[in-house]
A and B are shown apart, each in its own frame.
Chain A
Amino acid sequence: MQNISALNRSESWRSFWMATWLGWQIESNWTDPFLFAVYSIVKPLASAGILVVMYTVIAKGNFNTPIFPYIYFGNAFYIYVGAVMSGISWAVIDDREHYKTLKYMYIAPIHIPAYWLGRGVARFLTGSIAVVITIAFGALFLQVPLDLAKVDWPLFFVSLFTGIAMLAMMGLILASITLLIAHHFFLIGEAVAGALYLFSGAIFPLDVLPAWLRPVGFAIPITYWLELMRRSLVGNVAQAFPTLSHFSNLQLVGILVGLSVIFGIASTFIFRFCDYRARERGLIDRVSNY
């Protein structure tokens, strides 16, 4: 029989591609196709509905201020944070605790970070469906000011894919840390997602935060990414808030790319450290049964 090491498909590509296939099988096969479609549509609409009800109560039904599209788009794109970042780290928990396959993945000749990234692709795809449905619903029924003819498409796609890459790097960091915390993984995921939600300008501009807390928001790349997504779709909304208005689009893209690179480099070192520590402490296949 053929020696496997002689086979020439790239290890990273192979890991990423097969993990993408596996992730999609898991995401799409947990129920029948009809229920999956209903779930994919209803879940984002329900989230949007909750947000709109809350906004209606607070703003007394005034949908014509810039804050409404600010919040709406911020929330819509924040779906990607949960989907991509938590999705990637969830692969560790899923494989170790639920399927008990993490050790078999680990001893396979694969590139573990590429495997985790691949597992996040399916979440990115299902997240994209949710984002599109949420925005379409807002534009059609909630007077969210979206004019497709005025959208800055190049900026939109550059920002979207840079942002997704950035979220993937953050996901790798979270996945690496998850390797070390067999017992309290749920708390970590929720804490990170909650903190980023508050400090990244998803639901309110950073100006609302006390001055001493704003630097936290400025250090998070998600803040710049959400701003870029809003600017590419509805430029005038962003101008209504001073937080990042002194930055040009190009500057924001530069900051986003720079922070993404920093997070990418950090994720490499953090993975190596966590991988080393997990093997040292025997955590790769430790099941908490929580």
Chain B
Amino acid sequence: MVTEQTTLSNLAVEVENLERIYKIRGSKKEKNVRKELVALKDVSLQIKRGELFGLLGPNGAGKTTLIKILTTLLAPTSGWARVAGYDVVKEPGKVRTQINMVSGGESSGYGLLTVRENLWMFSQFYGLPSKEANQRIEALLKIVGLEDRIHTKSSDLSTGLRQKMNIVRGFLTDPQVLFLDEPTLGLDVGASRDVRHLIRNWLDQDRSRTLLLTTHYMVEADELCDRVAIINQGRVLACDTPSALKQQLQRDALFEISVGALNGLAVPTLERVPGVRKVASEESEEMTVLKFILDEDAALGGVINKLTESNVKIVRLDKHEPTLEDVFVSLVGRSMAEVEKEGSNGDGK
């Protein structure tokens, strides 16, 4: 969390008791039924200037809702938020002079315009001198490997290349606070690496810049972020540096056991084995990966016995250092993949 020495002036983002509730209409049969979906619940955060802050959570956790509020697109139901010192509800115009945003996994942009025209136009909306804008466009396109497409109509770009163009649009205006919502979603490995490189370089060039990144890629958050807030079901469950978060699990024994069919063995049964603190499972077609957080290594014997009793075939067993995924499991009780699966099945809690 922010130290006592932190003053208001060096905070890029402040969020206090923020809550957002969506009112959802029922289906045609339930026309008069109004359901409420709590997207954010009592969220409080402080992000210092110069920080690369990550919001880590599964789909539907509330990450995008928070970004929408901070970028003035959505009003909070209660609580307040300031960006660059300005209230997002009372002073949206002032906030907008200080920010930019890019959402990943979408192909927005004017398809009739070329890459250069799209970017130049947005730079002009931000009041950038045309010559400077063109120089920045060329430099940024080169960094993301899109310089040879500068005169290509954006409708002729693949989804991934269009996303790169949009990422350039975000950096182009050199905002004080940049919001990147799942920027590498849908990008291939190489393109994701380019984007992460761009992010890190941009922040290193000027330590007054602040970047808020949402992701559900643990490795990305771990690699890039100065601090990470883990969010699930609209609540911030933990907020600290990645190393400090992982430190909390340092004394625990973390094992991953890949098994064949579970033969009816339920995860709660495994959780009742003495010394087992949390178990998460990720199923694929061929095997199930069981992730264990144990009080100590000695508890592993009981786990193996339980698996053997149930005729579960152990394919692989690994002991590993704590990752942010383990932190998530320890906080939520399930892996992020499990939470997303439940969410997509409509039975998420």
Contact = CB atoms under 8 A, between A and B. Distances in A.
A7 B93 CA distance: 15
B124 interface: yes
A101 B125 CA distance: 13
A18 B124 contact: yes
A26 B174 contact: no
A169 to B, nearest CB: 22
Dominant SS among interface residues on chain B = loop
Nearest to A106: B73
Contacts of A14: 124-125, 127
Contact of B73 (A9, A26, A99, A107): A107
A56 interface: no
Interface string A205-223: 0000000000000000000
A107 B101 contact: yes
Given A25-B110, A25-B117, A29-B112, A106 B72 contact: yes
A108 B126 contact: yes
Interface string A250-267: 000000000000000000
Contact count band on B:
35 or more
A2 B132 contact: yes
A193 B101 CA distance: 36
Given A4-B173, A107-B96, A108-B125, A30 B112 contact: yes
Interface in B123-141: 124-129, 132, 136
Interface string B86-98: 0000000100111
Interface stretch (A79-87, A225-233, A280-288): A280-288
A21 B121 contact: yes
Contact of A105 (B72, B112, B125, B132): B125
A107 B84 CA distance: 14
Contact count band on A:
35 or more
Contacts of B68: 282, 285
A43 interface: no
A72 B141 CA distance: 53
Interface in A93-117: 99-101, 103-110
Contact of B74 (A1, A22, A110, A279): A279
A176 interface: no
Given A1-B174, A25-B110, A18 B73 contact: no
A1 B206 contact: yes
Contacts of A11: 127
A110 B97 CA distance: 9
A107 B125 contact: no
B75 interface: yes
Contacts of B117: 25
A15 B22 CA distance: 32
A287 B47 CA distance: 31
A12 to B, nearest CB: 12
A113 to B, nearest CB: 13
A228 to B, nearest CB: 36
Contacts of B127: 4, 7-9, 11, 14, 109
9 contacts: A1-B174, A8-B127, A30-B112, A100-B109, A101-B108, A104-B101, A107-B72, A279-B75, A282-B74
